[in-house]
Structures are given as structure tokens and as C-alpha cells.
Amino acid sequence: MIRKTRLFTPGPTPLLPAAQFAMAAADIHHRTPEFRALFTKVLSQLKDFVGTSNDVIILSSSGSGAMEASVSNLTSPGDRVLVLTAGKFGERWTGIAKAFGLQAEVISRPYGSTFSLDEVKAALTPEIKAVFVQATESSTGVRHDIKGIAEVLKAAGSDALLIVDAITGLGTTHLDMDAWGVDVLIGGSQKAVMMPPGLAYLAVSEKAWARMETSKSPRYYFDLRKERKNAAKGESAYTPPVSLIAALGASLDYIAGQGGGDLKAGRAALVDNAETCAAMTRAAATAMGLKLFAPVGYEAAAATAILPPEGVDSGVIVKGLKSKFAAIVTDGQGEMKGSLFRIAHIGFFDYLDTIAIIGALEQVAIANNILPGLEFGKGLIAAQKVFAEHVK
């Protein structure tokens, strides 16, 4: 049979055709009125997509560049910061903090879990200058309680900045940056906005902008103050990837279209879509006799992490889906390699994609006798019932 490659990965995600067309047609110089109009529009749209009144800055980098920029712009060597980690990307915060000479207090929880608010409260001393955390940990399929963490900071009267990696959280989780008191919220182009990698964006609070004036960590290319100054004129500080900016505009237009022309409504629809696809996948996996990795109530909608049966390497399932159906799912990362596989729902996924990957998973499981006694349709029926309940 024909095999059509399909990504079911939490980044890069499947590309939106309109974004691809926009990239192909983006023959614009970046110091022209045409580009300034496009860039100004996209920056305004991003505020609605993030859901903030704060300025949003675009960087020519992956999301990790924005993570580094948030550290270099908002801290000074020797500052004491709090890192909350329960997965591969939480560990990245720790690595960046150490690279910039910070004293990192780390609350580290095992992969597949999250941290309690009491733990955060106990670690939040007056010396803490910033708190770094993921909205969702895509390496484990776990969602963290950002609203609760923000409330802990408020209740403690802390002056610490709350910096959230929402690279897989935006577009899969309902976030309220301004109301909750998040100071930096980070996104990336290869996630919910359905584009290739290469752009990162940060929404930055006024409190964080003020902190930049006193921070002493070295920065040059990732100096957010330069970007803010130039963005006010419709430009970037350095040469931007023009085609990706055009693609971002097309993607944001598409998301607005899902909300009848309202980008805020489109953002909510995008989140609801991810939640539905994730719920279908969780129900299917459970019905097939597989176990979920994330704790109940903290499952991320960006990706579902599934444990293989005892004694089975998850790589067998990952390779089976690729070889038989050209369906690309991801193995576990770090210490979880071989111990779980992840099916993504972030961005340009829909009902038919979800049904397809569940059907393919049944085929691979039965062909490889991974789940003895499994019958075709077990997972699909469970997914169908969830969809019928979610979408009336």
C-alpha cells in the first residue's frame, strides 16, 4: 500500500498548507514598508494568540533561544533562582541557569510526575529572583499547575519573576498570562502555530522589562530591549527569517478563521481541539490495555505519553508505526528512552488524524503480539465514544 508520511510528534508538528504557501511567496526585503506592515500585524496578532496586553517579541531561534534570552535578560551572575523540573525540558532550565552563573535551587520530581504547590511555597525564599517552569513537559506528557504556582508567588508577596516555557503549552492549554501574573511566556513556531522551526516568541510583562535595566548577565544578539525598540518601528534588530514571519501571519489568520475571524476565539478552539484529540488517545490506549504515564488530572493535551507493556521496548512500537505506516511518533527522552512513546496533538491535528494513529497502533500491537488477546477496534471504539461526547 501507499505510505504517506505523517508526523505525530510534539515538534516539529505538521505544517499548515497556508503557511507553506506564504513562505514560498515571501519575496520581501526586511527593511521595507511592506515588511514593516506585515511584522507589525503579526506582533499584534501574537498578543491575541498568547492572550496578553504585554509586548510580544519575536526572535530568530528555536524556543531554546527564547529560554536563554529570558535568563540572560532578567538575571545577574550569582542570583538565586528557583527551577521546577520534572522532565527533559525542565532540566534545560537548570542547564541554562548554571551556564549564566546563577545559584539554582531546584525542585526536581521524577519523570511522569509534577511538583506540589507546598513544595514551591517552601522553596520560595525572599532571595529568589526568578522562578522557571514549563507549562507542559512534552517529554513526559505532564501539565504543570501554572495558575497555582502564580498564586503561591502572589500569596507570598514574592518579587520573583515567573517565567514559563509554554512552547508546547500555547495552543494546547488555556493560559491567562495577565490575570495570573506570569512575567514571561515563551512560544515556538514549530508547535501550535503549525510552522517549521526557526522562530521563538516571548510575551514580557512590564515588571520584567523593568528588571532588564538592572540585570548584568551578558547579552548581545538576544538583547530583548533592542528587539522591543525596533519592534515599535515594525522592524527586528537583526535580519529576520522573512519567510517564517509571513508563514506565522498566515497561521495566525487561519487560527482566527477557526474562531469566525476572532483570534481569541480561534485560540480557544485550537486548545479545545487538542484536548479532544488527547482525550480520544488516552481513552483508546486505556481500552487497549496500555497505561498512561502522566498522573490523572495532569495529562497534557500537547502529547500523550504511553507506557508499553512490561518487557516491551517502546522503540518496537515507534519503529513499527514508521515502517508499516510512515507514522512518526516519538520515543521517550533522556532516562525514559525505550520506556514510553508519545503521540502528539498540538497544532494541525484533527479527528481523522487521531483515528488513523489509533488504528495504526492497533495494527502494530496485534502484528507484533505486543498486547496478546487485543482485538481490532478496541481502542477505536473508545476514541469514537469520547469524540461523540466532546463534539455535539
What the chain holds in terms of domains, given with CATH numbers, is: 6-12+262-390 (3.90.1150.10), 17-257 (3.40.640.10)
- CB neighbours of residue 385 within 10 Å: 14
Q: What is the pTM of this model?
A: 0.96
Q: What 3-state class would DSSP assign to 341?
A: strand
- CB neighbours of residue 326 within 10 Å: 14
Per-residue pLDDT tens, the chain, 392 aa: give them: 899 999 999 999 999 999 999 999 999 999 999 999 999 999 999 999 999 999 999 999 999 999 999 999 999 999 999 999 999 999 999 999 999 999 999 999 999 999 999 999 999 999 999 999 999 999 999 999 999 999 999 999 999 999 999 999 999 999 999 999 999 999 999 999 999 999 999 999 999 999 999 999 999 999 999 999 999 999 999 999 999 999 999 999 999 999 999 999 999 999 999 999 999 999 999 999 999 999 999 999 999 999 999 999 999 999 999 999 999 999 998 889 999 999 999 999 999 999 999 999 999 999 999 999 999 999 999 999 999 999 87
Rounded CA-CA distance 65/136 in Å is: 18
Rounded CA-CA distance 370/320 in Å is: 11
User: Alpha carbon of 189 to those of 36, 199, 266, 286: distances in Å?
Assistant: 20, 5, 17, 32
Rounded CA-CA distance 172/357 in Å is: 19
